Structure 1
Amino acid sequence: MSNKSERERQKQIQEKCQTILAQLLREEDNKYCVDCDAKGPRWASWNLGVFLCIRCAGIHRNLGVHITKVKSVNLDTWTPEQIGILQEMGNSRARAVYEANLPDNFRRPQTDSSLEAFIRAKYEHKRYIAKEWVPPSMPKPAFNIEEKKKKRTKPKGLGNIEIP
């Protein structure tokens, strides 16, 4: 029985994660790859909190998991903590952090080799990072399935009284 209930719980978590990911991808800055501006990113570096196109996702994977942890938006499973990082950062804030010191005349690279060099400079060498930025210590999960269950099992007749 607990095996079935655990599978159901995991299914609920994944459905909620997919819903939030879809909402995040509808935000204007997340509609484009954070690194090359390609339209319709379907990948994410969850530890950096950014959305990527497939080409940039491949480059990120080459950097190693000590720098960036890449997942498919649709094909992989997600945790509430990973979604929380994406909610907290997103492409707009990530650009403000990781591209704070880009030269004024900077143009995004288009060739594979120049794009990889830019991505390495940006995340591996932190060449353009905002000096004052401090990464958050422990991100909050995007949601908690248990909280949702508590609300469902609230006894009738208590109105708006919250149950601790």
Structure 2
Amino acid sequence: MPPDHKAARSNYFKKSVNKLSDGTRKLPESSEELKALLDFLYTGSLPEEKLEKHSCTLYRASQKYEIGYLMEICERYFLRSVNPSNALEYLSIADVRRSQALMAAALGVIVKNMYRIAFTKEFEDFTSKYPDLSVLITRELLNSKRSLGWEK
């Protein structure tokens, strides 16, 4: 196999491999996260524990390095693992990726657990960083209350 066969999982790496003069490249991920990324590039799969531990970082790396299959693996993981402690982060990921399924899942969890989420520092930070998504959450919450007969 040619020396760049491992890079074939990523358009970014395919383009980069031939441009490297000294064979090195500085990547921003921690060594553990980088190892998980490289393991994926070599094997095409990830053990569940690595996915669980590094899913958000690997997802960002999959976008940056154009690794579509890794992006899909991470999205499937997000969909099956969304809960009140990660729903805000997953909602922001869904917004960037325009993933309707993940957005619906994250919004559903947020709306159902709004009393628990709304009074956290994480939610305060989220509303400052993502005002448009905060409006979306508010509208979803009000729509859910309306469907239960709650008005004004």
TM-score of the superposition, structure 2-length normalised? 0.25
TM-score of the superposition, structure 1-length normalised? 0.24
Structure ranking higher in strand proportion: 1
